[in-house]
Amino acid sequence: MKAKLILENGQVFEGRAFGHIATCVGEVVFNTGMTGYQEILTDPSYYGQMVTMTYPLIGNYGINLEDNESQTAKVRGFIVRERCDDSSNFRAEIELDKYLKQQNIIGIDGIDTRSLTKILRNSGTMKGIITAEELSAEDIQNYFESFDNTYAVYEVSVKEKEILPPLISDMDPKDIVSISVMDFGVKRNILTNLRKRGCQITLYPADTKAETLLSDNSDLVFLTNGPGDPEDLTEIVNEVKKIIGKKPVAGICLGHQLIALAMGGSTEKLKFGHRGCNHPVKDIRKNKVYITSQNHGYHVSKLPEDFEITHISLNDESVEGMKHKTLPVFSVQFHPEASPGPVESSYLFDEFIELAKIKL
C-alpha cells in the first residue's frame, strides 16, 4: 500500500506502508548501525520516535524473540530503504513485517533514507507523520500539534516493584551486590550485565520517592536510560538530589543526564543526536578509545560543579562520561551494554559495582 512520510518542514517522501497501517506522528531520527534493528525497535529510549535506518537493507536476518531489549516494540514508526521479508538466519522466528503488525507499529519502505538523513543532519531532527491516508493541511497540523512526549518515561517504566536475582548460581549471599534501579525504560541488557556480575536488582517505577530508595538497604542506586527530554523530569531530578551523597549513584544515558541536572549542571538538545553502534569515545583516564553504542538526542552541556569528565565523544567532543571528584557518583552517556554494538566498554559495569562497594 502506498504511504507517505511527511516532515515538519513540508518535505514529503513517498514509499509503501508495512507493519500495522495506521497514521502516526513522532520525532524522526536516524540510526547508523548496519545491524541491530531488532534491539533498536524494542529499546524504550526510542519511545515516541520514528527511526530511520541509514543501512539500506533491513529485515534480512528476521526477528527472534531472545534479542529484544524490552517486551514490546517501542518506536513510533520505522523507516527503511529496502525491506526484506524473506529472512535467512537460523535464529529467525518471525519476519519484520509480521512482527511490526503484531506490535501495532507502522513501517514505511522504499524511502531514500540517504537523502532523508541529509535533511535531518542539516536541519536537525524534526517531527514526521507516516500515513497511508490523504491528509488535509489541517489534519497534518493537528497531528504535529498533538505530539507530546513529556511523560514518556512513565509510560515505559515498570508499574510495580520487581526483584531480579543474580545470574550466577549458588552465590554466597554476602557476595551479592544489591542495586535499586530507578526504571525509566531500562534496556534488558543493562540489567543482564549487572546480574551476570552477581547483582540482585530491585526495579522501581519512575515515580518512586527517594525515601523508599534510601530505605531498602541496597548498595547502589542506578538510574537507567529512557526516552524524552531530561528537563521535563523535574520531579525525578528532585528525588535524585536527595539520594546523591547518601548512597552511591550510577547512571547510563538519561540517568547520566538526570545526575547532571540534579547536581546543578545543564542539558541541551543535540542537532541530530548520536544513534548507532560506531561512535568513538575516549576514556580520558586511560587515554584509550572505545567504539560505542549510542542512542541519545540530548547531552550534558554544562558539567556540574565538582565533577570531572571521564569520557568524551571523538565525533563532536561532547561529554560522554563524568564522575564526582569526592562522592561515589559516576555516569556515562553512551551504552556500555551495547545491544546492538561492540561490547568493549562493558568494563564500566565493573566500575559501577566498585562504586557500590563504597559505604557512606
- Measured CA to CA, the distance from residue 87 to residue 146 in angstroms comes to 36
Nearest to 295 by CA among 202, 192, 205, 190: 190
Please state the closest distance from residue 46 (CB atom) to ligand GLN, in A.
8
Please identify, using beta-carbon distances, which residue of 48 and 328 lies nearer to ligand GLN.
Answer: 48
Element (H, E) at 158: none
Q: Which residue has the cell 530507578?
A: 182
User: Is 298 known as a binding-site position?
Assistant: yes
* Binds ligand GLN (CB under 6 A): choice among 33, 297, 340, 341: 297
Please identify, using beta-carbon distances, which residue of 23 and 31 lies nearer to ligand GLN.
Answer: 31
* Burial of 354: CB neighbours in 10 Å, binned 0-12, 13-18, 19+: middle
Asked if 70 interacts with ligand GLN (CB under 6 A), we say no
Which cell numbers hold the place of 160? 510495580
* Binds ligand GLN (CB under 6 A): choice among 206, 223, 253, 355: 253
Which residues, numbered 180-239, are part of the site for ligand GLN (CB under 6 A)?
225-228
**Cβ-Cβ contacts under 8 Å for 245 (sequence gap 6 or more):** 327, 360
Please identify, using beta-carbon distances, which residue of 13 and 298 lies nearer to ligand GLN.
Answer: 298
User: Is 19 known as a binding-site position?
Assistant: no
- Measured CA to CA, the distance from residue 334 to residue 322 in angstroms comes to 11
Q: 337 catalytic, yes or no?
A: yes
Q: Sketch the per residue contact string, 40 through 59, with ligand GLN: x for CB under 6 A, - otherwise.
A: -----x--------------
* Burial of 185: CB neighbours in 10 Å, binned 0-12, 13-18, 19+: buried
Q: 335 catalytic, yes or no?
A: yes
User: Residues 24, 199, 253, 277: which is the catalytic one?
Assistant: 253
Catalytic amino acids? 253, 335, 337
Chain residues binding ligand GLN by CB under 6 A are 45, 225-228, 253-254, 295-298
Annotated binding site for L-glutamine: 45, 226, 228, 254, 257, 295, 297-298
